[in-house]
Amino acid sequence: MKAFGKILGLGLLGLLLIIVALGFALTHLFDPNDYKDEIRQLARDKARVELTLNGDIGWSLFPWLGLELHEASIATLNKPTEPFADLQMLGLSVRVLPLLRREVQMSDVRVEGLNLTLVRDAQGHGNWEDIGKPLPDPNATASTPPAPQPDTPASTPAETQGGNERSVKLDIDSLTVNNARVQYTDEQSGKSYQAESIQLSTGAVHDGVNIPVKASAFLSASVPNIKARTELAGELRFDRKLKRYSFEDMRLSGETSGEPLAGKSMTFVAQGQVLVDLAANVASWTGLKVSANQLRALGELNVRDLDKAAQLSGGLSIAQFDLRTFLDGIGHPLPATADAAAFGKFELVSRLQGTPSSLALEDLAVKLDDSTFTGRVAIDDFAKQALRLQLKADTFNADRYLPAKSEEAKGTAAARQAEVKQQEASATVGAGTSPLPAPPTQLAWSTDKLLPVDRLRVLDLQADLSFGALTLNKLPISNAQLKANGQGGLVTLETLRGGLYNGTFEAKGTVDVRPAVPQVGVNTRINRVPVEHFIKRESPDQAPPVKGLLTLSSDLTATGNSQKALVDTLNGNASFTINDGVLVNANLEQQLCQAIATLNRKQLSGEPRGKDTPFQELRGSLVIRNGVASNPDLKARIPGLTVNGQGDLDLRVLGMDYNVGVIVEGDQTAMPDPACQVNERYVGVAVPLRCRGPLELGAKACRLDQEGLGKVAAQLAGNRLKDKLDEKLDEKLGDKVSPELKEALKGLFKR
């Protein structure tokens, strides 16, 4: 028995030596390069590809089935001279015995100089789609069905999923790819994408274990023109039975530049744990860390229903950074704003919800400079740019974010300010003996563009905003609410309302940018708001011409895309009332005193005194046509006086031209000068004033109307003559005639 075992062992050893000797003889005495033509023909017949072997073929048989190709390329049979793949060298080897157990155990796999060129032609056909397809039979007609191919019988689903695929075990010591290149061109769209200088190295590749991976490449696209240098590292893990794939400690970094960045560059890093579970149709990216130039973000992303309409959820937190500097650094600078420091601080925390066509930031908290916003921001449809805003803010100064004035606008404002100062310097407060100010000529409004017309034409907007404190056009609005929507170029302001200086206001309107020239309509209601806050002043220290509580209603329309264009085309109606007000630095009593002294042919004994004129009410209505407001019914109630007026307000230059009549109701108060003491002759007489000049001057632009004053003097002289005649009749007639006859005789002198 022992001898038999010894003989069997020697026999097996001899057989092994014979196999090794045979393998040695085959690999050393048999040269595969002598059979290149047969190999090419085998590739045509079995793989349906055109294989070109310009370099040598190296091989080994046992214990490794090894293959090494040099200078090889592959093309389809339809275009054999246009290879879609070529390489400088491919080296791999497989253990022979494990193949018998349906296990693929490979040593190092090395690929050098792979060049893969994929092209989809103008008809939408890709050059890779003909791989494995035979050439069409030139003798076949259109009605002849294709001949069956001698392929292997199709596997049943059970065989594919339950048998062969699960039984093949992959085992590779390492994979190395050097200097590879992949290019894809779509002739239908004219776009192309390219990855160059691809470097890839892995550790041992086994099913169900972590595989160290390092890769780098230079990526580029033609439309838009963009380039990126990328590096990828981490540990890849896959379990084909469970259809579960993960990339642990993933780190993608690099730098990109191109047309979207307008010549600027951006460095980026993305890190985290990535998992894809195709059996459960879910994916996740946890421990997400992203940086892009100054931006730093943390979060996690989860996707479900990968086999249907994928649903995204997760969270995102962006640390505070300088938004203006960041956008400038990636080639998308913000326009200059009234406050150069605006957009200097930005941070965000939000919960994410999304689909392939939408994204929502739920439970949003944003800090922008000195403001905090909470609520929801969503894009309901990426294709339609359907923006939805539901936000609450503690405080927001909108003036900081308005476009900065152009040099032209600054010049216009400076020229007008100089004109107003010149008129103000020549206007004497008090008696009004100086010449009547000239009508203003300098434009008061900017020609800078106001509306981003192109953006508004494609905007799909629904906004519901509220502010604890909102500053708009230097007006502090409390508890402000704004609702607006936009669709197809028509933006509707449903409401903008709030508290203002212990009063209230509300505005509604539309902006229609569908026509070539934008059309604007606005309806406003202001209730008991101090009027001085609406008066345009070049300097905060400049005193307003009038103070009081304004109640205003208006319905206005205009066209254009600048302040000047809108004012030039302003049309509509308005009515106003100012209660408990003051004409600042304007002494109507002194103006009246000057007029009475003139009528009395006396000189004032003192210098004109400047002081305010209080009034109980100032009201009127406006009819506005092309920027000029006609005011036919101006009325003011001043203690002891009644003021009536009519005139125009030229809103284009912020000028006024009024005729005003001041009526003495009675000698209720002492006049400031003996020369203008009021007697009963002046009661009910309208003393005429002419007010002309910049609106900023207010009542300081008013002067005695000398022509009108002459008419008043003539009227008073007639009244005085009548009184003397009445006295004479009373003396002559006495009690000789009846009172009725006496009044009839007096009436003769009135005619």
Going by C-alpha positions, the residue among 252, 249, 202 that lies closest to residue 228 is 252
Q: How confident is the model at residue 663 (pLDDT cuts 50, 70, 90)?
A: confident
Where do the structural domains in the chain lie, given as residue ranges? Answer: 12-133+162-182+199-206, 407-451+518-704, 719-748
pLDDT at 671 over 60: no
Cα within 13 Å of Cα(121), Cβ side: 7
Measure Cα distances from 198 to 74, 213, 617 in Å: 20, 13, 83
Tokens, residue 599: 């009528």
Residue 260 has pLDDT above 80, yes or no: yes
Tokens of 476: 């502090």
Kindly report the length of the chain: 751
> CB-side exposure of 89: number of CA atoms within 13 Å?
12
Determine contact, residues 732/746, Cβ cutoff 8 Å.
no
Could you tell me the end-to-end alpha-carbon distance of the chain, in angstroms, rounded to an integer?
168
d(C-alpha 703, C-alpha 426), whole Å: 13
What integer pLDDT is reported at residue 74 of this predicted model? Answer: 84
The DSSP H or E segment spanning 291 is strand 282-292
Distance of alpha carbon 526 from alpha carbon 548, whole angstroms: 13
pLDDT of residue 615: 86
| 722 token code pair | 């009548």
43 has a pLDDT exceeding 90: no
Give the contacts of 151 (CB within 8 A, at least 6 positions apart): none
Residues 6+ apart with CB under 8 A from 407: none
Q: What percent of the chain has pLDDT over 90?
A: 44
**What is the pTM (predicted TM-score) of this model?**
0.76
Residue 143 pLDDT grade (very low, low, confident, very high; cuts 50, 70, 90): very low
Element (H, E) at 29: helix 2-29
Q: Which residues, in sequence order, are CB contacts of 290 under 8 Å at separation 6+?
A: 268, 269, 270, 271, 296, 297, 298, 299
Q: Using one digit for the tens of pLDDT, what is the confidence trace for 465-499?
A: 999 999 998 889 999 999 999 998 999 999 999 99
Cα three-residue angle 208-212-215, rounded to 5 degrees:
130
DSSP string, 542-598: SPPSEEEEEEEEEEEEEESSBHHHHHHT-EEEEEEEEEEEEETT--HHHHHHHHHHH
Q: How far apart are CA 250 and CA 694, in angstroms?
A: 69
User: Is residue 632 over pLDDT 90?
Assistant: yes
Beta-bridge partners for 176: 110, 201
Mean local confidence (pLDDT), 732-745: 47
| Ramachandran area for residue 272 (φ above 0: left; ψ -120 to 50: alpha; else beta) | left
Residue 131 pLDDT greater than 90, yes or no: no
If we measure between CA atoms, which residue out of 325, 485, 455 comes closest to residue 390? 485
What mean pLDDT do residues 273-302 have?
96
* 3-state SS, residue 707: helix
Higher pLDDT, 284 or 734: 284
Q: Which residue shows structure tokens 């580029």?
A: 220
pLDDT tens digits, 672-683: 555 455 555 555
pLDDT tens by residue, 216-257: 999 999 988 999 999 999 999 988 889 999 999 999 999 999
What is the predicted pLDDT for the residue at 162? 42
CB-neighbour burial class of residue 513 (10 A; exposed 0-12, middle 13-18, buried 19+): buried
Measured CA distances, 433 to 202, 429, 661 (Å) = 97, 9, 17
For 374-425, the DSSP string reads EEEEEES-TTTTEEEEEEEEEEEEGGGGSBPPPHHHHHHHHHHHHHHHHHHH
pLDDT for 23 equals: 46
DSSP secondary structure letters along 309-378: S-EEEEEEEEEEE-HHHHHHHTT-PPPPBSSTTTT--EEEEEEEEEETTEEEEEEEEEEETTEEEEEEEE
pLDDT tens for residues 492-536?
Answer: 999 999 999 999 999 999 999 999 999 999 999 999 999 888 876
Whole-angstrom distance, CA of residue 23 vs CA of residue 60: 8
Task: Give per-residue burial for 617-647: e unless 16+ CB within 10 Å, then b.
Answer: ebebebebeebbbebeebebebeebebebeb
Query: Is the N-terminal amide bond of 437 cis, ω within 30° of 0?
Result: no
What secondary structure does DSSP assign to 426-444, as a single string? HPPSSS--SPPPPPP-S--
pLDDT of residue 276: 96
Average pLDDT score over the chain: 80
d(Cα 582, Cα 614) in Å, to the nearest integer?
4
CA distance 390 to 483: 9
Pairing assessment for the beta strands 641-650 and 613-625 based on DSSP bridges: unpaired
Q: CA 624, 629, 635, 637 torsion: positive or negative?
A: positive
Two tokens at 290?
């992203």
Distance CA 252, CA 268 (A): 8
Q: What is the pLDDT of residue 674?
A: 54
169-186 and 103-112 strand pairing: parallel
- CA dihedral sign, ordered 729, 730, 733, 738: positive
Cα 730 from Cα 745, distance rounded (Å): 10
| Cβ neighbourhood burial of 18 (10 Å; 0-12, 13-18, 19+) | exposed
Tokens 């959820």 appear where? Answer: 313
Q: Kindly tell me if the per-residue pLDDT of 207 is higher than 60.
A: yes
> Of 251, 252, 181, whose CA–CA distance to 218 is shortest?
181
Sorting pLDDT into bands at 50, 70 and 90, what band is 729?
very low
Task: Give the model's pLDDT for residue 524.
Answer: 95
Task: For residues 454 and 151, give the distance between their C-alpha atoms in angstroms, rounded to a whole number.
Answer: 59
pLDDT value of position 8: 45
Q: Which amino acid is located at 241 in the chain?
A: K
In the prediction, which pLDDT does 174 show? Answer: 86
Contact yes or no for 250/236 (Cβ under 8 A) = no
- What's the average model confidence in pLDDT over 29-57? 73
User: Do 355 and 378 meet the contact criterion of CB atoms below 8 Å apart?
Assistant: no
Q: For 80-94, 347-361, 509-523, which range has the lowest pLDDT when averaged over its residues?
A: 80-94
What SS3 state is found at 723? helix
**pLDDT of amino acid 70:** 85
Residue 276 half-sphere exposure toward CB, CA atoms < 13 A: 11
Q: So what's the pLDDT on residue 706?
A: 64
Helix and strand element counts for the chain (H, E): 12, 33
Band of the pLDDT at 637, cuts 50, 70, 90?
confident
Average of per-residue pLDDT across 610-628:
89
R_g of the chain computed on alpha carbons: 46
- In the predicted model, is pLDDT for residue 16 greater than 50? no
For residue 68, the cross-strand partners are 58, 91
Torsion of CA 23, 25, 26, 32, to 10 degrees: 140
Residue type for position 103:
E
Query: CA dist 286 to 215, 303, 567, Å?
Result: 21, 11, 56
Joined together, the tokens standing for residue 345 give 């601080």
Q: pLDDT confidence of 374, banded at 50, 70, 90?
A: very high
Q: What is the mean pLDDT of residues 552-571?
A: 95
Do β-strands 613-625 and 295-304 pair in parallel, antiparallel, or remain unpaired?
A: unpaired
